[in-house]
């Protein structure tokens, strides 16, 4: 998988220990000595983190599965290692095919870690404006909520201009005694029960905020009057809302990927099974 250098902006493969452009250290290599390098080691890592069965996560380690909606890695008869994704229609996209087992394992290992973080976020509850519990956030790339937001943003750009739109990202918002933060095109809210920040889907924002975010704009800078912790100190601050919807989890410890048996894994949640990876 490719990452972006924090220092020079160059994009390079995350298997490299340093950025080939400026030489800066690759933060994802912090666990290079601990991460699995063989299929067997990845199977052991999977078991050690108490992850659900392959049929639940749809990650098949060491298996050539033909079913739709599946990620996998296996060793072919000719000795090559195959990393693949079976799409929703059953067609297969091959991520890697070659004799480098460590590289192949690293590709699906990073994808698996990203999905664990997504699933952990999916299991967090989110509030509504009347302070009643709401169903857990379940997003759809082309859901009605996002369609409404997209239409609204276009209208806002026309009516308020680009300067107003710039305020929407990396800024605090306040509505009905709840503090929100817009970061890299995603919304977060401050969960007072947990005393921490949680992600929230756009469709779950209070309707009045959806109508006009700028009416509830608080500012770009944290201050104590918000009565919340600084968003930049939260674990979400490394969240990467890029086209592959992955998280930058380089600061996580290995134990953060342990799976809680009380949580549910939904392999269809926010998963683009039609893409190549």
The string of pLDDT tens digits covering residues 109-140 is 989 988 887 788 777 644 433 333 333 333 33
Between 101 and 156, the more confident residue is 101
The rounded mean pLDDT for the chain is 77
- Write out pLDDT tens, residues 81-106: 999 999 999 999 999 999 999 999 99
Please state, in angstroms and rounded to a whole number, the distance separating the CA atoms of residues 98 and 188: 41
86 touches 68 (CB < 8 A): yes
Please state, in angstroms and rounded to a whole number, the distance separating the CA atoms of residues 31 and 254: 8
Between 218 and 263, the more confident residue is 218
| Residue in the block written with tokens 């108490």 | 50
Confidence class of residue 59 from pLDDT cuts 50, 70 and 90?
very high
Greatest mean pLDDT among 142-146, 159-163, 212-216 lies in 212-216
Mean pLDDT for 210-233 is 89
Mean pLDDT for 190-211 is 84
Which pLDDT does position 239 carry in this prediction? 56
Which pLDDT does position 42 carry in this prediction? 97
Residue 173 reports pLDDT greater than 70 = yes
The SS3 assignment for 153 reads helix
Residue 55 reports pLDDT greater than 90 = yes
Please state, in angstroms and rounded to a whole number, the distance separating the CA atoms of residues 86 and 68: 5
**Domain residue spans of the chain:** 1-32, 34-122, 144-257
Please state, in angstroms and rounded to a whole number, the distance separating the CA atoms of residues 179 and 191: 9
Longest dimension (CA), the chain: 64
Q: Count how many Cα atoms sit within 13 Å of the Cα of residue 96 in the half-sphere of its side chain.
A: 21
- Residue 183, CA distances (Å) to 41, 136, 180, 197, 201 in order: 36, 20, 10, 12, 12
DSSP secondary structure code for residue 8 in this structure: T
Which pLDDT does position 108 carry in this prediction? 95
b/e 85-97 (16+ beta carbons within 10 angstroms → b): bbbeeeebeebbe
Please state, in angstroms and rounded to a whole number, the distance separating the CA atoms of residues 29 and 24: 12
Residue 169 reports pLDDT greater than 70 = yes
180 touches 213 (CB < 8 A): no
Number of H-type helices and E-type strands within the chain: 6, 11
């Amino acid at each position: 998988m490719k990452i972006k250098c924090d220092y020079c902006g160059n994009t390079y493969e995350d298997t490299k220990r340093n950025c080939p452009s400026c030489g800066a250290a690759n933060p994802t290599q912090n666990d290079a000595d601990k991460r699995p390098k063989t299929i067997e080691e990845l199977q052991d890592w999977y078991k050690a983190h108490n992850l659900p069965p392959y049929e639940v996560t749809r990650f098949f380690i060491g298996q050539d599965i033909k079913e739709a909606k599946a990620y996998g890695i296996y060793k072919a008869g000719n000795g090559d290692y195959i990393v693949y994704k079976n799409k929703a229609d059953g067609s297969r996209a091959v991520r890697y095919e070659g004799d480098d087992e460590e590289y192949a394992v690293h590709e699906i290992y990073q994808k698996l870690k990203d999905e664990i973080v997504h699933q952990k976020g999916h299991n967090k509850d989110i509030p509504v404006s009347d302070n009643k519990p709401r169903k857990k956030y379940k997003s759809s790339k082309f859901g009605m909520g996002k369609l409404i937001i997209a239409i609204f943003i276009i209208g806002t750009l026309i009516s308020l201009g680009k300067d107003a739109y710039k305020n929407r990202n990396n800024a605090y918002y306040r509505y009905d005694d709840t503090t929100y933060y817009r970061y890299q095109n995603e919304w977060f809210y401050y969960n007072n029960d947990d005393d921490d920040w949680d992600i929230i889907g756009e469709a779950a924002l209070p309707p009045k905020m959806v109508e006009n975010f700028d009416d509830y704009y608080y500012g770009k800078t944290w201050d104590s009057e918000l009565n919340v912790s600084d968003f930049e100190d939260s674990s979400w601050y490394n969240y990467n809302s890029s086209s592959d919807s992955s998280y930058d989890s380089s600061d996580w410890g290995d134990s953060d990927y342990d799976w809680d048996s009380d949580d549910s894994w939904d392999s269809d949640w926010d998963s683009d099974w039609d893409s190549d990876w």
